[in-house]
Amino acid sequence: MKIEEDTKLDFGDVLIRPKRTTMSSRSEVDLERQFTFPHSTLKWKGVPIIAANMDTIGTYEVYNVLSKHKIITAFHKFYNAEDFISMQGLGLDPNYFMVSSGIQESDLRRLISIMDSIYVKFICIDVANGYMEQLIEFCSKVRELYPEKIIVAGNVVTREITEELILRGKVDIVKIGIGPGSACLTRTQTGVGMPQLSAIMECADAAHGVNGYIIGDGGITCPGDVSKGLGGGADFIMIGGQFSGHDENPGQIIEENGKQYKMFYGMSSETAMKTHFGKMDKYRSSEGRTVKIKYKGALENTVLNYLGGIRSTCTYVNAHKIKNIPKCCTFVKVNKQLNTIYA
């Protein structure tokens, strides 16, 4: 048994300290960033935000909105090759979507089928527990099959496995986050996790040291959290729950007591298991919530709100480009950051 004594931080534990700025308008901020990768031969340029590969988020309807802003959508794992061919007919830009995969043989067969059907730039290999040796082996196999593709894998929260995924698994981008999501119960059910900001800071330092990148996945409650994640060193931020509850998300609008809601659930929830597999195996427990999200209307409005918030952060810290946020960012640890009298 070992105890780490140093304090680990979440987004709610800090504020970003403002500093003198030479900018006079949010419109001066460049939210796009260009990347080259340690293993892939491809390049990418866009806004480094990703919609999570969840049933109710990673859909074509969401992609259709986000791609106009050069934001990536990680499609959920349950689209097959025929679905992608249909979406290709409607219009798919490979710069703004990821094909997601698990790590079983059936997942590999599905991935190969999709890759044979359409042009794909990003592959996202996604498991809840990224510490399994099986994940590294699967990533290596996918790299052998598709040496030029941009490969994302996770989820993890510590330095050593981040480095191993990049160096031995030949991954370009590591997904960081265990349990911070609003629909995730992993920390409750297992006691496992790491406060998200500290996880991002530790893993970003490790990844950047071996020329890789990270995605901060989960824990976003507002635009300021995206800025804090980027300030902590995340190269991309993945958003789930905050992109739910809109017209573009699947499901009917539910009315209760004069208020409108839509359903949202975690991918390890009992709802997800029953939806895709007909049951939840008796040897496992649900590690995800099923919740009613307040109906938010058009996704476009939420996207503009988030992009506007990030631009405003940049003007407060004199970051002319989004990639400069970490070098311009100083965090202040706080006991309280919001006045909630009217919340």
Backbone conformation region of residue 184, classed left if phi is above 0, alpha if psi is from -120 to 50, else beta = beta
Strand partners, 321: 30
Q: Do 214 and 174 contact (CB within 8 A), yes or no? A: yes
**Contact (CB, 8 A) for 214 and 266:** no
Q: Is residue 173 a contact partner of residue 208, using CB atoms and an 8 Å limit? A: no
Sign of CA dihedral 265, 268, 269, 275: positive
Instruction: Please confirm, yes or no, whether 186 is among the known catalytic residues.
Output: yes
The half-sphere exposure of 71 on its side-chain side, counting CA atoms within 13 A, is: 25
In the annotation, is 73 catalytic?
no
Q: 155 preceded by cis ω (within 30°)?
A: yes
- Write down the catalytic residue from 56, 59, 73, 184: 184
Q: Give per-residue burial for 145-183: e unless 16+ CB within 10 Å, then b.
A: ebeebbbbbbbbbbbebbbbbbeebbbbbbbbbbbbbbb
Residue in 59, 73, 186, 315 annotated catalytic: 186
DSSP 14-34: EEEPP-------GGG-B--EE
Q: Which of 76, 73, 78, 68 is nearest to 51 (CA)?
A: 73
Active site residues: 184, 186
